[in-house]
Structure 1
Amino acid sequence: MRPNALAFRLFAAAALWSLISLPLTAYALNSVFRRQVERDFDERLRGLMTTLVIESFDSRLKEPAKPQEMGEGLFKQTLTGWYWQIKPLDPRDTRTLISDSLVGETLKLPRDLGIKPGSDGLRWADFYGPEKTRLRVIERDVVFGPPDDGHVYSYVITGRYDEVETSVAEFRNLLISALAVFGAGLLAATFFQVRWGLKPLGEIERGLAAIRSGRAQKLDGALPEEIKPLQHELNALITSNQDIIERARTQVGNLAHALKTPLSVITNEARDDKGPFAGKVSAQAEIMRTQVNLYLDRARMAARAGVIGGDTEVKPVLESIARALVRINQEKGLEIAVDCPAEARFRGEKQDLEEMLGNLLDNAAKWTKGKVSAAVRIERSVGDPAGAKVAIAIEDDGPGLTPEQRRKVGKRGTRLDETKPGSGLGLSIVADLAGLYGGSLALDASASGGLKATLTLPAL
């Protein structure tokens, strides 16, 4: 996809949105999961605290007893980070009960850090314990004996906070993998969605190409509701263009008839009068007739060149003109060799191709010693089907032209030999008409020393 393509813009917008939204989604889900894991971890510590109090309490004693079973095997394994501790707050009482996992170590108390108990009587803290293990600590006070004369003990339960981090890390890795797969799938789906959504524009492009090449007269096919107004307007534009061209042709024809009749009258009247003034009038009238014919021809050519959908086979036109010229020039022994591939097609009106080839072949027939060749080749541009050209090279074995003469002969009305019939407009008309189609006419020396005229026109 090209950077300025509509498909690229839509895909880039979707990709940018994915790159922004997916990381934010991952962060939000990871945060929610962390809070839930921490909440569950704290609830687990609360449950263990309740178990510790129950297991150590004996109504017959005024001091706690060491619990025999805490229900967690981790409290029996050495330095696991899961510890419990029961410590009297009376400094005179030095008897402290600890879990087997603590192996002679003692724990700092949240109260020593200045932490006040919450509404539930619990103190919470995070700090590093033995083996530099990060611990989550919960503490509560338990009174043994009468409320006014009892002994207060500090009950402490710790849990290894690394377990929270491990759970969160595992979830985060799984989340990243899942969102990466989801993001890749989303981008792939977006790519195909964009291609599928823009497919009607491709159909319109192909339809317009078919109209331009003459394979269709209007845009057909079932298009989405959003594209149908565009289809309707394009068809209306094509119809309007055809109507305008048809009116232009009609007006050119009317103008030709309107001008030719008065010019004929002037010319005939001048011929009847033998005076010098009549000669000047007759000469100027002939110049006017030539110029009128020239510009009327150019107007007709411009109208035809604007037609959408012209499609003309080159070979039949070339062979037909060649046969006609051979019959006309039988006494000269004229031979015209035609080499044209059957697939050569001119993207334009048949009448224009006949006029261009007729002028070129007629010019070659006038000057040749007897042999004329017409060779056609198709030139196609890689990656640009619309840029295809058909090159028609017409060569004769006549006297040819010098470079200076070749430059002059393309000008309107230039005739290098006044003994030959014609108005001197043939090559000029060919060059003008080729230019209207985006083509060109090039003059060069032929291999036999005559003139080589290469006509390049748009092809299908």
Structure 2
Amino acid sequence: MGPKSLAFRLFVSAAAWVLVVIPIAAILLTSLYRQSIERNFDARLDVYMTSLVAASTAEGGDVPETPESLGAPIFDIPFSGWYWQIKALKGAERPLFVSDSLLDQQLDLPSQEGVPPDDTLTRRSYGSGPEGERLRMVEREIRPGGDQSPGYSYAVAGDSAEIDADLAQFTTMLVLALVILGVGLTVATFFQVRFGLLPLRAIRHDLAAIRSGDAEKLEGELPDEIKPLQTELNALIQSNRDVVERARTHVGNLAHALKTPLSVISNEARAHDGPLSDKVVEQAEIMRTQITHHLDRARVAARSGVIGGVTDVEPTLMALKRALGRIYGEKGIALRVSVDKGLKFQGEKQDFEEMTGNLMDNACKWAKGSVAVTARRLSDDTISVSVDDDGPGLTKAEREKAVERAQRLDESKPGSGLGLSIVADLAHLYKGRFALEKAAGGGLSARLTLPAA
């Protein structure tokens, strides 16, 4: 799964969203939880504030009285982190009353301008305690004798370490949960992408089966989004077969239309003596050779475009061996065939027979006593077929000339001279290679490299 893979792109895009959304969710959840625990903490402070106001207010008095205990021993322990104080709003440097936990200290409250009151006229803020600890503070302005009486600042503070510890514990659990969730989502995304792309893998598998000849069209139930692709590919495959079939029919009709008149001309010319008749026969044979060559090329080109042609190499070569054994039996040629097990050619059987048949026939014509045919797999997508004989062989210049169109190096041997040219054309059309080399025994070695199925 590389960078150009569709699965890779889908997985990365989904994973990127997970990496973006989860941290944002963590920040939002942490913020909401902090607000929640601050509200709960403030509610405790408000309870103590209410108790402090009630304990210090005398009926009909304008000045707070010394409050009794708030019912919370924590305010009696020196520097416990929980404190309260009552201080006049104007003209007082020291508080009127403080909790036993403050001893002779006082709370350093933020300025009233910096902390506006809430709906209950209470100011809520953070500050520092006498020991430098961080405190959560609530402050309220109280006028015991009414709106016209002197005002007093009532303040209650608690150690915010409880808030921080609670928040830290929640954050640890949240991070762990979100990490597990992120990993789970990433793994789920990976399998979701693979599952979602299964239909495309099925199409690829079916196309490979068509190419190898194991199937004729794409089959199976596919999702609605991919069904049109299956339909169009099947139509394309059928169109390809129809075009090839029409080309074959056209080539056959053209061959019949041209060769029949040429045969009539040749026969009529042979019925008369004289240089003119000989010239007509000669030119007619040249035309027949050229027509055969070009029609064979057209036929080969049409067949090479067929999708799904696959040929078993071993039975095809063995059938050719038997046929040539009957033809050249009187020469006593020892024709040996060696083929790798299960070797298959990616192409039409007729084309493979024509290529290897021409090479084997040519080798039998020139061999002194033996011809060796060897077929091997070179790689997953390539096979090699070599035909070696022990004949006189060819020079380098003759080997190059032999594959040219309609070249016959020895007129004493039967044939049109088109065989090796057709072999070269066929190999080229199948994107393979054809070469003539000197055999180890001194004869000729013809080598084909073709696509494997």
TM-score, normalised with respect to structure 2: 0.92
- In the TM superposition, residue 420 of structure 1 has moved relative to its aligned partner by 1.5
Structure 1 portions without partners, runs of 5+: 382-387
The answer to whether the 8 Å contact 1:58/1:65 transfers is no
Amino acid in structure 2 at the alignment position of 1:65: T
The answer to whether the 8 Å contact 1:2/1:8 transfers is yes
Taking the aligned partners of 2:430 and 2:114, their CA distance within structure 1 comes to 94
Amino acid in structure 1 at the alignment position of 2:385: I
Amino acid in structure 2 at the alignment position of 1:413: A
Where in structure 2 are the equivalents of 1:113-152 lying within 5 Å? 120-143=120-143, 147=146
Farther off after superposition, 76-85 or 245-254: 76-85
Judging changes above 3 Å, is the alpha-carbon distance between structure 1 residues 160 and 194 closer, same or farther for their aligned structure 2 residues?
A: same
Taking the aligned partners of 1:415 and 1:16, their CA distance within structure 2 comes to 69
Taking the aligned partners of 1:326 and 1:5, their CA distance within structure 2 comes to 54
Taking the aligned partners of 2:285 and 2:320, their CA distance within structure 1 comes to 29
The answer to whether 1:67 aligns with 2:82 is no
Q: Deviations over 1:219-244 (max 9, x none)?
A: 11121222222212222222222122
The answer to whether the 8 Å contact 2:110/2:127 transfers is no
Farther off after superposition, 25-34 or 313-322: 25-34
1:436 to 429, 441, 447: 429
Taking the aligned partners of 1:93 and 1:30, their CA distance within structure 2 comes to 40
Judging changes above 3 Å, is the alpha-carbon distance between structure 1 residues 76 and 453 closer, same or farther for their aligned structure 2 residues?
A: farther
Q: Deviations over 1:130-173 (max 9, x none)?
A: 222222322234445x5599675432211223433333333233
- In the TM superposition, residue 428 of structure 1 has moved relative to its aligned partner by 0.9
Taking the aligned partners of 2:450 and 2:121, their CA distance within structure 1 comes to 97
Where in structure 2 are the equivalents of 1:152-231 lying within 5 Å? 153-231=152-230
Amino acid in structure 2 at the alignment position of 1:301: V
The answer to whether the 8 Å contact 1:434/1:440 transfers is yes
- In the TM superposition, residue 343 of structure 1 has moved relative to its aligned partner by 0.6
The answer to whether the 8 Å contact 1:310/1:348 transfers is yes
Residue equivalent to 1:288: 287
Taking the aligned partners of 1:94 and 1:202, their CA distance within structure 2 comes to 83
Q: Alignment length, in residue pairs?
A: 452
Taking the aligned partners of 1:156 and 1:85, their CA distance within structure 2 comes to 5
Q: Partner of 1:331: helix, strand, or coil?
A: helix
Taking the aligned partners of 1:250 and 1:446, their CA distance within structure 2 comes to 40
Farther off after superposition, 190-199 or 47-56: 47-56
Residue equivalent to 1:106: 106
TM-score, normalised with respect to structure 1: 0.91
Q: Deviations over 1:17-64 (max 9, x none)?
A: 222222222222222222222222222221210012223445498642
Farther off after superposition, 439-448 or 164-173: 164-173
Q: Deviations over 1:248-272 (max 9, x none)?
A: 1111111011000111122223223
The answer to whether 1:396 aligns with 2:374 is no
Q: Partner of 2:321: helix, strand, or coil?
A: helix
Q: Partner of 1:419: helix, strand, or coil?
A: coil
Q: Deviations over 1:259-310 (max 9, x none)?
A: 0011112222322333333333222211110010011111111122122111
The answer to whether the 8 Å contact 2:52/2:70 transfers is no
Taking the aligned partners of 2:35 and 2:430, their CA distance within structure 1 comes to 74
The answer to whether the 8 Å contact 1:55/1:70 transfers is no
Judging changes above 3 Å, is the alpha-carbon distance between structure 1 residues 282 and 112 closer, same or farther for their aligned structure 2 residues?
A: closer
Judging changes above 3 Å, is the alpha-carbon distance between structure 1 residues 372 and 51 closer, same or farther for their aligned structure 2 residues?
A: same
Alignment RMSD (CA, Å): 2.5
Residue equivalent to 1:302: 301
- In the TM superposition, residue 95 of structure 1 has moved relative to its aligned partner by 7.4
Judging changes above 3 Å, is the alpha-carbon distance between structure 1 residues 92 and 98 closer, same or farther for their aligned structure 2 residues?
A: closer
Amino acid in structure 2 at the alignment position of 1:244: V
Taking the aligned partners of 1:149 and 1:446, their CA distance within structure 2 comes to 125
Taking the aligned partners of 2:122 and 2:223, their CA distance within structure 1 comes to 67
Residue equivalent to 1:453: 446
The answer to whether 1:417 aligns with 2:416 is no
Where in structure 2 are the equivalents of 1:273-284 lying within 5 Å? 273-284=272-283
The answer to whether the 8 Å contact 1:52/1:70 transfers is no
Farther off after superposition, 83-92 or 248-257: 83-92
Taking the aligned partners of 2:104 and 2:297, their CA distance within structure 1 comes to 113
Taking the aligned partners of 1:68 and 1:37, their CA distance within structure 2 comes to 26
Judging changes above 3 Å, is the alpha-carbon distance between structure 1 residues 213 and 120 closer, same or farther for their aligned structure 2 residues?
A: closer
Q: Partner of 2:435: helix, strand, or coil?
A: strand
- In the TM superposition, residue 416 of structure 1 has moved relative to its aligned partner by 1.7
Q: Partner of 1:400: helix, strand, or coil?
A: coil
Amino acid in structure 2 at the alignment position of 1:122: T
- In the TM superposition, residue 89 of structure 1 has moved relative to its aligned partner by 5.5
The answer to whether the 8 Å contact 2:389/2:445 transfers is yes
Q: Partner of 1:174: helix, strand, or coil?
A: helix
The answer to whether 1:35 aligns with 2:28 is no
The answer to whether the 8 Å contact 1:135/1:160 transfers is yes
The answer to whether the 8 Å contact 2:403/2:421 transfers is yes
Structure 2 portions without partners, runs of 5+: none
Amino acid in structure 2 at the alignment position of 1:220: E
Taking the aligned partners of 2:92 and 2:395, their CA distance within structure 1 comes to 130
Residue equivalent to 1:405: 398
Judging changes above 3 Å, is the alpha-carbon distance between structure 1 residues 97 and 215 closer, same or farther for their aligned structure 2 residues?
A: same
Farther off after superposition, 171-180 or 314-323: 171-180
Judging changes above 3 Å, is the alpha-carbon distance between structure 1 residues 446 and 318 closer, same or farther for their aligned structure 2 residues?
A: same
The answer to whether the 8 Å contact 1:412/1:428 transfers is yes
Taking the aligned partners of 2:413 and 2:212, their CA distance within structure 1 comes to 39
Amino acid in structure 1 at the alignment position of 2:193: V
Amino acid in structure 2 at the alignment position of 1:404: A
The answer to whether the 8 Å contact 2:366/2:391 transfers is yes
- In the TM superposition, residue 426 of structure 1 has moved relative to its aligned partner by 0.7
Taking the aligned partners of 2:103 and 2:204, their CA distance within structure 1 comes to 83
Residue equivalent to 1:378: 377
The answer to whether the 8 Å contact 1:443/1:452 transfers is yes
Identical counterparts, % of pairs: 52
Where in structure 2 are the equivalents of 1:17-28 lying within 5 Å? 17-28=17-28
Residue equivalent to 1:256: 255
Q: Deviations over 1:324-348 (max 9, x none)?
A: 2222222211110111134111122
Taking the aligned partners of 2:367 and 2:439, their CA distance within structure 1 comes to 11
